[in-house]
Homo-oligomer: A and B are copies of this chain.
């Protein structure tokens, strides 16, 4: 087996592991160096560093301090990498830690982060998903079982100071347009809970004060939560600092397009086996600003889908101009209504959309004023037939199984 460059001990606080960090900053020291062509293994915490537990209460989802996320493993230096290069990363394989063969999905309370459908599901809820080899199922969401489309929700290289400043400036500007908003419009630097890896003392404090939060995807990739960045894919990352500084975490066993539940996907601790190469001066050669990638040749195959449409007219009938966000929300709500006819609770249906490998397509984006989005649900993830028929739906579930819910305090 290749060398494990970074190990994590799930019984230890992520703050005590100096090969882990939870902010983006160019000053975070590399924890290891590899040569181009090397393959190696990196272990990671789940994105919350173990805060969410394998139990039947959503209290932890309700109570989590979201300023602590995401705990990333790295940064790893690549010899010879220079700003302007492309770092080519092969995700050779990814898995859960052997001692932790489960993951979680949840909805944050609207008061604590919310999510895509937070107006409809404003309270903290959670589902636990057990892994059976390449498959998963949940004791809280009956009737579905599917293979994992395992991927890192978050992976990318360190920003340089200029890019960091760009991020902080533009996000602060947005935040300032409505600083009281709940949930907030953006997550700003926050020193007290920053984990800056091996950076110590004043240097740490200075960096923590300006370190970019890990929540949004940005030019370097980062928290893209792209389900198709799955094991077997090949990614071309922009390099901004000497050595590149590759970090990763937020592993997902599976996720639907959009990661709509936000405490999203099936979140897990695990390991990534990866290989790195360089394309010198690749950013200019290929005109690259954001990462590009090639998907994996090994992914769950589903050829039969049930597809829901949504348009950019909101729940109260308000007309929006080519708003894909709203159109996709309508497609999701339409799917949830449909699934409820088979016996699912709305929360369970929402969880399925967040965890299973559903596709979300931007189907039409020019037919003013309505954008059209489609949500593709693979029919074979269900243990029963969810296709429409002349006889109407069969209620396969009796409602005896529900997802834990923890009301706001």
A-side interface residues toward B, CB under 8 Å? 1, 39, 86, 90-93, 98-99, 101, 115-116, 132-135, 146-147, 166, 170-171, 173-174, 183-187, 215-219, 221, 223-228, 231-232, 236, 257-262, 264, 273, 275, 277, 279-282, 285-295, 297-311, 313, 317-325, 328, 330-331, 334, 337-338, 340-341, 359-374, 376, 380, 385, 387-390, 392-393
Contact B311 A217 (CB under 8 A): yes
Contact A362 B373 (CB under 8 A): yes
Chain B residues near A98 (CB, 8 Å)?
1
Contact A184 B368 (CB under 8 A): yes
Q: How far is the CA of A317 from the CA of B282 in the complex (A)?
A: 22
Chain B residues near A365 (CB, 8 Å)?
116, 258-260, 325, 328, 360
Q: How far is the CA of A302 from the CA of B232 in the complex (A)?
A: 14
Chain B min CB distance to A225 (Å): 4
How many copies of this chain sit in the oligomeric assembly?
Answer: 4
Q: How far is the CA of A385 from the CA of B221 in the complex (A)?
A: 25
Q: How far is the CA of A115 from the CA of B365 in the complex (A)?
A: 9
* 28 residue pairs from A and B, CB less than 8 Å apart: A39-B133, A93-B133, A135-B232, A166-B317, A170-B317, A170-B319, A171-B369, A185-B321, A186-B321, A186-B368, A216-B368, A217-B370, A225-B363, A257-B361, A258-B366, A259-B364, A260-B365, A279-B388, A279-B389, A279-B390, A285-B392, A286-B392, A287-B341, A290-B334, A291-B309, A294-B306, A295-B376, A298-B300
Chain B residues near A170 (CB, 8 Å)?
313, 317-319
Contact A133 B364 (CB under 8 A): no
Chain B residues near A147 (CB, 8 Å)?
232, 297-298
| Residue from A86, A338, A340 whose CB has the most chain B CB atoms within 10 Å | A338
Contact B258 A362 (CB under 8 A): yes
Q: Which of B116, B227, B305, B393 is in CB contact (< 8 Å) with A294?
A: B305
Q: Which of B217, B317, B331 is in CB contact (< 8 Å) with A367?
A: B217
Chain B min CB distance to A155 (Å): 12
Select from chain B the residue with minimum beta-carbon distance to A385. B385
Q: How far is the CA of A147 from the CA of B304 in the complex (A)?
A: 14
Chain B residues near A226 (CB, 8 Å)?
309, 361, 363-364, 372, 374
Contact A227 B304 (CB under 8 A): no
Chain B residues near A361 (CB, 8 Å)?
226, 228, 257, 359-362
Contact A1 B359 (CB under 8 A): no
Q: How far is the CA of A163 from the CA of B280 in the complex (A)?
A: 56
Chain B min CB distance to A346 (Å): 11
Chain B residues near A262 (CB, 8 Å)?
366
Contact B322 A308 (CB under 8 A): no
Chain B residues near A325 (CB, 8 Å)?
322-325, 365, 371
Contact A224 B309 (CB under 8 A): yes
Q: How far is the CA of A225 from the CA of B320 in the complex (A)?
A: 18
Q: How far is the CA of A170 from the CA of B116 in the complex (A)?
A: 24
Contact A134 B231 (CB under 8 A): yes
A134-B93, A304-B380 known; A368-B215 Cβ under 8 A: yes
Q: How far is the CA of A286 from the CA of B335 in the complex (A)?
A: 10
Contact B289 A334 (CB under 8 A): yes
Contact A301 B298 (CB under 8 A): yes
Q: Which of B184, B219, B287, B297 is in CB contact (< 8 Å) with A302?
A: B297
Chain B residues near A92 (CB, 8 Å)?
132-135
Q: How far is the CA of A317 from the CA of B288 in the complex (A)?
A: 16
Q: How far is the CA of A313 from the CA of B304 in the complex (A)?
A: 35
